[in-house]
Chains A and B, each alone.
Chain A
Amino acid sequence: MSRSPDPPPQRADEPGLPAELARAVDGVHGAADLDRMYASLHAELGRERGLRAWLRARSTVARGLMALGLVAAVSALVALGFARPDLGSFPPARMALSLAAMALLMIVGVALALRPLQRAALPAWVGPAAITGSLAVLAGLYLVSPFDLPRAAFDAATLRPALVCMAIGLLLGVPVYGALLLLDRGGSRQALPMAMAAGLAANLELHIHCPSADPLHLMLGHFGAAVLLLLATALWVRAGR
């Protein structure tokens, strides 16, 4: 157990520099003005009311489960009411692999998005690697079709249903992004992992619903929804700087 402010004893073999030098650096700064700070903080704590404050004060595990619970609920709704008609003929192992991969990557996205500030920051490459990796896995799943299909033409007959799926994907992904925003505690918003999680949730739900196995349709409509969410988020973050 700790009780500030006693410093721990220094070991004889640990390097260091004269303590008075450290005190000299701190001595030139202004006062903390603790009373004013506390008054301001107390006022801010008083404003921590309502649904948003309640949500972001839940534990990190609870927040993660809420986000995943939302996706699970929507996925169940899609499966019960709007499931793809070819489920009986679609290779079950391939379906399981696709859904499991999307779900796992989405969980990674949620974990990155909701990572609390009291945990040490991850190396800078982890976020971009997770996003790139998830896009690569999605592309791999879509480009390698389980069926031997003739190549679809890039025409209106292909584009129209792909755009419909993209629109549905955005409609499914945006609420997930919104839920993650509500659950976010602020301080260090992980906008791109949120978009990654939302895009993967959308692809998971689309995969349960859409009967197309054509790589062009899947890349344009489903993968495209995930990419659009990421791009829109990146532009929004850049504009906000």
Chain B
Amino acid sequence: MALDSGGADARSDEQLMAAYVAGDADAFRVLFDRYAPQLFRLVRRRVASDDEARDLVQQTLLQMHRARHDFRTDSRVRPWLFTIAVNLVREHYRKRGRRREQALEPDAPLPADPGAAPDAHGESRERAARVRAALSQLPDQQREVIELHWFEHSPYEEIATIVGASVAAVRVRAHRGYLRLRELLPGVE
């Protein structure tokens, strides 16, 4: 197994997936370590609790396992996983009978930062709450694109694959979404 200078597995995601399909169980652990934190952040923004998010991330990786024989040489792991996660979140809300994803639960307390000013935590939490409230006011299609683009730094081409729209449509949704967010979050730039 090739290691990088830091001792981590140097194989690409696609090489790891191919190894996993061929029966290398350790490759799955490496993929888990690489993607579980990202998937948790992606899902956690859209569900009400850490436990729900962990459950959905587990389901995402379980679905990746079940779908492993669908993985082709020209497939890419990241959009694969993000598409599964996005679809599972949608299904999560469809089963609950809610069209719009509701506001999240009250913020968990932030860890103390000894170097920060006394009111920094409150300020940060307030900003986070404002951003989440603004995001929840976007139409679902715009919100999905904004979250993938702004939070996950996904390029539009990848977002188009994940949400099943053209790149042009994704750009329009992003443009409209960002405009609306700027209206809802005055003075953020």
A58 touches B58 (CB 8 A): no
Q: For A119, what are the chain B residues with a Cβ–Cβ distance below 8 Å?
A: 83, 164
Segment of A3-11, A153-161, A200-208, A213-221 in the binding face: A3-11
Tell me the residues in window 44-68 of chain B with beta carbons closer than 8 Å to chain A beta carbons: 44-45, 50, 53-54, 57-59, 61-68
A8 touches B88 (CB 8 A): no
**Residue A30, interface by CB 8 Å:** yes
Tell me the residues in window 1-28 of chain A with beta carbons closer than 8 Å to chain B beta carbons: 1-5, 7-8, 10, 14-18, 21-22, 24-28
A25 touches B132 (CB 8 A): yes
B69 touches A59 (CB 8 A): yes
B59 touches A187 (CB 8 A): yes
Which residue of A44, A57, A59 is within 8 Å of B58 (Cβ)? A44
The size class of the interface chain A forms with chain B is 35 or more
Which residue of B13, B69, B127 is within 8 Å of A24 (Cβ)? B127
A24 touches B59 (CB 8 A): no
What is the CB-to-nearest-CB distance from A136 to chain B, in angstroms, rounded to a whole number? 26
Q: Which secondary structure dominates chain A's binding surface?
A: loop
Interface size on B, residues (CB 8 A): 81
Q: A58–B164 Cα gap in the complex (Å)? A: 24
**Residue A62, interface by CB 8 Å:** yes
Chain B CB within 10 Å, residue with most, of A40, A118, A119, A187 = A118
Check A38/B36 contact, CB under 8 A, given A8-B154, A28-B110.
yes
What is the CB-to-nearest-CB distance from A36 to chain B, in angstroms, rounded to a whole number? 8
B38 touches A4 (CB 8 A): yes
Q: A18–B181 Cα gap in the complex (Å)? A: 12
Q: For A1, what are the chain B residues with a Cβ–Cβ distance below 8 Å?
A: 12-15, 76
- The residue on A at minimum CB distance from B175 is A15
A117 touches B67 (CB 8 A): yes
A41 touches B78 (CB 8 A): no
Check A28/B32 contact, CB under 8 A, given A2-B77, A21-B188.
no
Q: For B128, what are the chain A residues with a Cβ–Cβ distance below 8 Å?
A: 24-25, 27-28
Q: A1–B127 Cα gap in the complex (Å)? A: 36
Q: A238–B37 Cα gap in the complex (Å)? A: 35
Residues of A within 8 A of B (CB): 1-5, 7-8, 10, 14-18, 21-22, 24-34, 36-38, 40-41, 44-45, 48, 56-60, 62, 116-122, 185-188, 241
Residues of B within 8 A of A (CB): 12-15, 28-29, 32-38, 40-41, 44-45, 50, 53-54, 57-59, 61-70, 76-78, 80-81, 83-84, 86-88, 90-91, 95, 97, 107-108, 110, 124-125, 127-129, 131-132, 135, 149-156, 158, 161-165, 174-175, 178-179, 181-182, 185, 188-189
| Nearest 3 pairs of A and B residues by beta carbon | A120-B164, A7-B153, A30-B50
Can you list 6 pairs linking A and B with CB atoms under 8 Å apart?
A17-B181, A32-B41, A41-B58, A56-B66, A118-B80, A118-B84
